[in-house]
Amino acid sequence: MPLLSEFADRIAILVSSCDAFFDAWQPFSRFFARFWPDCPFEVSLITNRLSIRSARIGYFAVGEDRGWSTNLLAALADMPQSHVLYFQEDYFLNAPVHTEQLAKDFAYVIDSGASALCFRARSAPDRGTVAVNDRFGLVPLASDGRTRCQVTIWKRSDLQSILRQGETAWDFEARGSARTQAMTILSYLHRDNTPIPYLMSAISRGLWMPEAISLCRAHSVEMEPRIRPLFSKTPWKRRLLRALGRVRLRQALRKQAGDPIQL
């Protein structure tokens, strides 16, 4: 049976982010440490100009925020590992990582030469999905879900080849699947047996989701600084709350400039 530590020189964890979401970095770090304390992989966070101080998490300061894909490409170019486990800063782990199962999955991806394995299933498998085992299957070529910005292990060179400068994450999800027709893309079939359980997403449309607040309270995880307001289902309230959040963010970034964030 493979051990996760056997892949430490080939896999790194990359957390996609930017300075505008720096208020999510501390809770992300706290949940990561709580639910994956023995993680053997190098973990790096994408920042713009802000820096962090952490015994566990490093960072790629890519400079001016030029958008999701451009920031991601800049970080990937500096990574020596052949594979990357993609996270986002508002994907909070909410239960222990199943390391034995994860090691088996990593071994399959690397040994088979697959380009990607997404650890979050869609609400239902795509028609034409071919099961590889009782956990995951081969995503059909016609699927529009071959490039989803969920927690996914990617062959780094393949991910680089399908990213486009200036695209948003939503652009990548909408357009990227067509670029993967020569690739083997795998995905978990169901959501109840993933080895990496997490809240998706803690932030929606720039606002904290109630589930994120509840999760933090349940585990006594501080949100500091508390910048963005709580999500509202009412459109006009969301617009007002986002505007308030943008003002708070500008103030918080000015205050934080030059001062490393302790994770």
State pTM to two decimals: 0.96
Would you state the pLDDT for residue 57? 97
pLDDT, tens digit, for every residue of 85-107? 999 999 999 999 999 999 999 99
User: At residue 232, does pLDDT exceed 90?
Assistant: yes
Would you state the pLDDT for residue 161? 98
User: At residue 224, does pLDDT exceed 90?
Assistant: no
**Residue 258 binned pLDDT confidence (cut-offs 50, 70, 90):** confident
Ordered domains of the chain (ranges, CATH): 4-262 (3.90.550)
Spatial contact of 173 and 63, defined as CB atoms under 8 Å apart? no
pLDDT, tens digit, for every residue of 136-190? 999 999 999 999 999 999 999 999 999 999 999 999 999 999 999 999 999 999 9
Can you tell me the mean pLDDT for 6-16? 98
Would you state the pLDDT for residue 155? 98
User: At residue 117, does pLDDT exceed 90?
Assistant: yes
Q: What is the mean pLDDT of the chain?
A: 96
**Residue 225 binned pLDDT confidence (cut-offs 50, 70, 90):** confident
Would you state the pLDDT for residue 257? 84
Spatial contact of 124 and 50, defined as CB atoms under 8 Å apart? no
Question: Helical H runs in the chain?
Answer: 25-35, 68-77, 99-112, 156-162, 169-175, 210-218, 235-256
Would you state the pLDDT for residue 227? 92
* Pick from 29-33, 214-218, 259-263: least confident: 259-263
Would you state the pLDDT for residue 223? 86
Q: 73, 191, 182: which is closest to 124 by C-alpha?
A: 191
Express the helix, strand and coil content of the chain in percent, nearest 5 each: 35, 20, 45
Q: How far apart (Å, rounded) are the C-alpha atoms in residues 105 and 126?
A: 20
Spatial contact of 63 and 49, defined as CB atoms under 8 Å apart? yes
Would you state the pLDDT for residue 92? 98
Quick one: tokens of 63? Answer: 């400079």
